[in-house]
Structure 1
Amino acid sequence: MNRKTIKLRAKLKNGVTTVRSLMLHPMETGLRKDKKTGKAMPAHYIQEVACRHNGELKVTTEFGISVSKNPFLQFELEGGEKGDILELTWRDNRGETESATTQIK
């Protein structure tokens, strides 16, 4: 994908980093039919999301076809310091990947 598909924010408060991300993705299940042709629309959905803190893997999660279009994901990490780097990466069922980085604020 050629456009920025992940909006990523991280904020430290009381020793806990809250990470918020919005991933722009069609999340097509493969179960719907095209209204014009009547043919099944091919599946296209995020399968895995991973988050690294200063290069160390901290969180992984798996998505499936039941996750809505443009999924929002929020989670908390213990620790971290202002200025540390977080990287969020997704991989979909077509092998496409996208990553975004941000600094903890």
Structure 2
Amino acid sequence: MSNNKPRAKISPANPKVGDVIEVKTLVSHVMETGLRKDKNGQVIPRNIIHSFKATFEGEPVFSGDLYPGISANPYIAFHMKVTKPGALELTWVDDAGETLSTTVSVTVG
């Protein structure tokens, strides 16, 4: 997972204080359930993204647990109210213990 760059977008791009924005995220990940076998009949080990969290200036704004029913390349969208300009940090953690993060700058227009 570490070589994948997540994508994140906020809408509107330049919100005002008090606006509610939509945050859309997409990360490339196989989300392997551990139920399939490879061409040699060996079980492919489970490796899914099991948690996602979003913090704005260090304060949690959204979090979620993901399960094997989530498809590959999970897309997550949520809304949040803009209280000030700052950094929105998005973090994904998978079963292999790998963590992937990206930061979106929220500027107030």
Report the TM-score, using the length of structure 1 for normalisation.
Answer: 0.87
Identical positions, percent: 33
Residue 3 (structure 1) shift: 2.4
Residue 33 (structure 1) shift: 1.1
TM-align CA RMSD: 1.7
* Aligned pairs (5 A) from 1:1-105: 1-12=1-12, 15-34=19-38, 36-81=39-84, 83-104=85-106
The amino acid that maps onto 2:51 is E
Distance in 1, matches of 2:95 and 2:2, equals: 18
In structure 1, the gaps of 5 or more residues are none
Whether the 8 Å contact between 1:30 and 1:40 is mirrored in structure 2 is yes
Report the TM-score, using the length of structure 2 for normalisation.
Answer: 0.85
Q: Which segments of structure 1 move beyond 4 Å, counting only runs of 4 or more?
A: none
The amino acid that maps onto 1:69 is A
In structure 2, the gaps of 5 or more residues are none
